Amino acid sequence: MKFGDVIVVLAVIALVIIIIIPIPLGALDVLLSFNISLALLILIIAMYNQEALQFSIFPSMLLLTTLFRLALNITTTRYILSEGNAGSVIETFGDFVMQGNAVVGFIVFLIIIVIQFLVITKGSERVAEVAARFTLDAMPGKQMAIDADLNAGLIDEREARERRIKIQRESDFYGSMDGASKFVKGDAIAGIVITIINIIAGLIIGVWMGGLDFGTAIQKYTLLTVGDGLASQIPALLISTATGIVVTRAASEGNLGSDLINQLFNQPKVMFIISGVLFFLGLTPLPTFPFFLLTAVFLFLGFQLSRAIKAAEFNEVGVEVQDDAEEKRRPENVLPLLNIDPIELEFGYGIIPLADTNQGGDLFDRFVMIRRQCAMELGIIVPMIRLRDNIQLEPNQYIIKIKGVEISGGEIIFDHYLAMNPGSAEGEVEGIDTIEPAFGLPAKWIDEQEREKAEMLGFTVVDPPSIIATHLTEIIKRHSHELLGRQEVKKLIDNVRETYPALVDELVPNQLGLGEIQKVLKNLLKEGVSIRNMVTILETLADYSGITRDTDMLTEYVRQSLSRVITKQFIMSQPTKVITLDQGLEQKIIDSIQQTERGNYVSIDPDVVQLILKNLSHQVQRLMSLGEQPIVITAPIVRLYFKRLTEQLTSDLVVLSYNEIDPSVEIESIGMVNI
């Protein structure tokens, strides 16, 4: 098989050559026999396939076999019309069918042609066309089902990728079959045309040029034409049947033969009913022996099936009892209980309809969008989100867990909408006062009648699934650094390796380990900085890892390399109003930096820290009163340590260094933190 591909190429070229160059009659007989063998091979393979993709080369085989038959037709026509002889295979086929009667033989041959063209070929073409159309129409739904199973944890990333590839291959296969079935149809039409040409041209040549009488000519050329037609149409009929089998196979777990036996002869009751009907027909004037014989056969099948089913049920119960007993004794049964899901959404039974696709729920689809949104905004791979119903919760309550620990939660009211005032709404709406769970904003639950009014007044109105999805998205963003493990970092690095192998090979593990890169990425995510630009991050780490292996310092270098990303993310307008630090405060922080083997930290008197935070809080309130997002700008060496100080006040305060702001951005200091 080493040179198999070369042999196939040469064989295809030989097919084209056969059309042009005559071949000996002995070789023609061999090729005609091989044509029948090849058709049988294709038919048997089609019957033993469990699914269409196991014979994915079938559309190309239709083209090649059609070309092969047409080449043989041309060769045999050349011999029939020029020599009045086309080899022993064709002569034998003609004698066998005609049985000495040209008219009857020709009519039988025409019936075979009609069956081939109008029944099998036409039906296979229509089935292939419909299968291609429905397969293409079903692709989006199948892909959404894969995403839903992936989010529910039923499958992993590898299996999801394999299923997507299989769906794509199925659409390509049925699309190819839709076109390839036209080869079979065209081959049947060509066979009819060649048959007519052979008979008419043979009569003309035999009578006018060969000097034969009309009866002898029609006997001779009809025999050769019918033999030629059978030698080509029998393989065509076999391949058309194989085409029909391939395109009509539905989802099954076995081949056609086993499915046929298992599905036709699996119900004893049906066998008994058929046996009774046949026995009744045997009592009528119809022939008695065949019906009584078949009555006994089906009665025997019914008793055999009943006995087999009872034995199978008994064995199955025994195996189940034994398996249950062994399962309880296995110590590994506690291992699944040790697994903790990265993200869980637990909800009361009242929220189940939102997660049940059969009831119109679309939470799974929203989870797909959440994963895509987090990948686009933060550059992270969000783990599978596990959905669980919890009867201990209130019916309309839900909670969100990160690594098994409850982080947040909320309640929804069905048939109501949450209306929030974005600050520009005018007027009031009737509803139930509440707090929006994702951002903690005041809101109201309103019914359907108030919805249109609220939207006209300028309120932001969202439905319950959107509330849960938004809340979950914010929790994932806020805790993204906790979800980034070493395995996720490895996937991100492997993704970069596909296009930048030299960069990854230089950095990992020669300069930094996987854990050190993970710490840098977690530092970025903790402050809301996107890590999507992994190439720039890894290049910066490769540049500065020779200077220091302190992950905090490496994080600062990476932030400076991502200055345009950070500027675009946090600075929305120009000139941007910011808060700065007094030079004396910056110097005091620098002087308070203590270096240890495990990293650096700031050692400042607690009273001074409280004074700094009090002054900072005053400046932040002042900036927020102007409707601006609080941003603090510091010197590069101070930024990290001042950020850690501000975490005692709030974790959401944006602290940037001058090196992290694009030079083209205008900033305006409206306050200064001092001591």
pLDDT digits (tens, 9 = 90+) for 510-534: 899 999 999 999 999 999 999 999 9
How far is the C-alpha of 156 from the C-alpha of 509, rounded, in Å?
27
Question: 646 and 613 in contact (C-beta within 8 Å)?
Answer: yes
Residue-wise pLDDT tens digits, 78-131: 777 777 777 777 777 777 666 656 667 677 777 777 776 676 667 666 766 666
- What is the SS3 assignment for 576? strand
Q: What is the pLDDT of residue 519?
A: 94
Using alpha carbons, select from 466, 420, 365 the residue that is nearest to residue 143: 365
Report CA 655 to chain centroid distance, whole Å. Answer: 42
pLDDT for 415 beyond 70: yes
59 upstream amide cis, omega within 30 of 0: no
Q: pLDDT class for 233, splitting at 50, 70, 90?
A: confident
Question: 524 and 558 in contact (C-beta within 8 Å)?
Answer: yes
Question: 61 and 42 in contact (C-beta within 8 Å)?
Answer: yes
How far is the C-alpha of 517 from the C-alpha of 538, rounded, in Å?
8
- Helices 102-114, 214-248: inter-axial angle, 10-degree rounding: 20
How far is the C-alpha of 344 from the C-alpha of 400, rounded, in Å?
6
Residue-wise pLDDT tens digits, 262-292: 666 677 788 888 888 888 888 877 778 887 8
How far is the C-alpha of 395 from the C-alpha of 508, rounded, in Å?
50
Average pLDDT of span 395-407: 92
Average pLDDT of span 180-205: 73
Question: 35 and 69 in contact (C-beta within 8 Å)?
Answer: yes
Q: What is the pLDDT of residue 426?
A: 81
Structure tokens at 467: 């509330």
Average pLDDT, whole number, for the chain?
81
Q: What is the CA radius of gyration of the chain?
A: 39
Cα angle for residues 442, 446, 450 (degrees, 5° grid): 125
**What are the phi and psi torsion angles at 669 (to 5°)?**
-85, 120
Average pLDDT of span 49-58: 73
How far is the C-alpha of 527 from the C-alpha of 521, rounded, in Å?
10
Sign of CA dihedral 485, 489, 492, 495: negative
**Parallel/antiparallel/unpaired status of strands 343-347 and 385-389:** parallel
Residue-wise pLDDT tens digits, 145-175: 777 777 666 777 788 888 888 877 777 777 7
pLDDT for 1 beyond 50: no
Q: What is the pLDDT of residue 251?
A: 46
- What is the SS3 assignment for 460? strand
pLDDT for 321 beyond 60: no
Q: pLDDT class for 44, splitting at 50, 70, 90?
A: confident
Residue-wise pLDDT tens digits, 341-378: 899 999 888 888 888 777 777 888 888 888 888 989 99
pLDDT for 465 beyond 80: yes
How far is the C-alpha of 590 from the C-alpha of 581, rounded, in Å?
13
Average pLDDT of span 623-646: 89
